[in-house]
Chains A and B, each alone.
Chain A
Amino acid sequence: MPMTLAEKILARASGNREVAAGDYVTAKIDVAMAHEGASWVIDELMRAGIDKVWDSERIVILFDHWAPAPTELTATMHKKVREFVKRHKIKHFYDIKAGICHQIMPEMGHVRPGELIVGTDSHTTTYGAFGAGGTGLGTTDMAVVFVTGELWFRVPETIKFQVDGSLPKYVTSKDVILKIAGKYGTEVAQYKSVEFEGSAIRAMSLASRMTLSNMTMEIGAKFALIAPDDKTISYVKSRTTKPFTPMYPDPDASYEKVYELNVSDLEPQVAFPHSVDNVKPVSEAEGVKVDQALIGSCTNGRLEDLAAAAEILKNRKVHPDVRLIVIPASREVYLEALRAGIIETLLEAGAVVCNPTCGPCMGTHLGLLAEGERCISSSNRNFKGRMGSSKSEIYLASPYVVAASAVRGEITDPRKLMEVRK
């Protein structure tokens, strides 16, 4: 029977020759990732009186949500996790200096095509950009994984987005996924696996594909898969010496539905508060005043995102009424941006550059919003109160739109701003 990529990944992980959508399987986990969520996993294990891990080399632990610890409570949380890491000799541990989990995982070679990876973070779907079955779990399920290395899964149905055409200048993969969310809603992939295919996907960098797979979580997806190609394989091989077996969907696999998009005429997109599917083209958002602009997060904090911001901000200044916060997704991204002169450009323009961390994206630290304030952000969620006051507003867009808006003090089409200079 022909299988989709999700079916192939879960068949291999569960030791079955074949599985089909709707089957329940018990699958072996290849890699389990936990950020500060590890602290809650440890609480669960203590409550159960279990102090063991299944495999100290397959568990990756890192800090990104509260790094460095902004409060005594979070410092205590970190301490507890560091002690657990030592006690169980967890091989892959990245303390506060490393960066955001979904950037660290592929950078450090923990994401390999065809593998099943779970994380204590909903945006674990990001690893689908490498053809890996990445999905998010809560802490109780992760406690089960830490101890047994296995978990039950329902094999999901698969839908496919066939994305063709070539993206115009200043239009990015962020605009593609916002367009999809706006057009089809936050439930189109509810409990399903998504596969992306098409010439626009193949032309994208891995960083751009990661943005796409990351935000596919926001339309409900369990996996957000892009079959590996030469770009994927050469990146992964440059990061890990461990062998892996890339998997591909069968050509005649059965999809619940196929959606076709052509992106050649796509405009930059903006998600209005308070839902990710409340999306309009930037032309309908222009003129909305902003108090803060954020470029960062697991969605858009990579080198190409910072470079996009620098392209806009070169020889320009951030509007005096706007706080522009820039957060590189990892130490590696930060260093590369520093060496390329990107950080200098951003600082000269008036940006505040913070250490690699999730930052204000989820409202924990480094730039929260007061009542009545508005932020334009390259992150992934604009839920009510996510970044601080429940009476503040978050607009989501690409780094180009965020940077252009930071210059003008209002939501701005980057294409128009760049025209002005010519």
Chain B
Amino acid sequence: MTTIKVRGKVWKLGDNIDTDVITPGKYLSLPMDQLKQHVLEPINPDFAKLVKPGDVIVGGRNFGCGSSREQAPRALKEVGVAAVIAESFARIFFRNAISIGLPVLICEGVSQAFSDGDVLEADFSTGEIKNVTKGLALKAKPLPPMMLEILSAGGALELLKKRFSK
């Protein structure tokens, strides 16, 4: 079975983090190397500078609500965010994240269990989540095998490439 594991420092965000907050429309036509400098700017203008590769976002409810812009999960991935774990996700953000190869997981209680800077460990194939700092364990519903397959290929496009190179 495909295994995807992540370990990283937590950035805690609230409920209804929308796609205009993640990647504001006024920057949307910029190339990704510039757009990513503005990721989450409306709520934290320094996020893109401060985030370290491998960090993890813990979100509240309805993470990624709003537009279908794939730049939202992609900009997070490009600045180094290794995964997003939230109480719940907006449908298109969740789907886009899987398709571009950014691991995401729905986990009730996750925002209660983590504070900014805690170290998080997650196994996306079993749904096990640990707060290493606080010594807490949570259980989420694991991702279905099809999504794990897309993630481990590095995204839906990589799978498509394989299909066409056969």
Contacts and interface: CB of A to CB of B under 8 A. Distances in A.
A138 interface: yes
B99 A363 contact: no
A120 B68 contact: yes
Interface string A377-410: 0000101111010100000000000000000000
A67 B47 CA distance: 31
Interface in A134-165: 136-141, 143-144, 147-148, 152
A249 to B, nearest CB: 21
Interface stretch (A46-54, A198-206, A336-344): A46-54
B24 A50 contact: no
Contacts, number: 125
Contacts of A90: none
Interface in B122-161: 144, 146, 155-158, 160-161
A368 interface: yes
Given A141-B96, A147-B160, A383-B18, A362 B88 contact: no
A209 to B, nearest CB: 22
Contacts of A275: 16
B20 A386 contact: yes
Interface of B: 16, 18, 20-21, 24-26, 28-30, 41-43, 61-62, 65-71, 73, 88, 90-92, 95-96, 99-100, 144, 146, 155-158, 160-161, 163-164
Interface of A: 24, 37, 40, 44, 47-50, 66, 71, 73-74, 77, 119-122, 124, 136-141, 143-144, 147-148, 152, 186-187, 190-191, 218, 220, 222, 275, 362-364, 368, 381, 383-386, 388, 390
Q: Give me the 6 closest cross-chain CB pairs, A-B, nearest first.
A: A138-B70, A138-B96, A390-B42, A363-B25, A136-B68, A362-B25
17 contacts: A40-B70, A40-B71, A47-B157, A48-B158, A122-B67, A138-B92, A140-B156, A140-B157, A190-B88, A190-B91, A220-B90, A368-B26, A383-B18, A383-B21, A386-B25, A390-B24, A390-B41
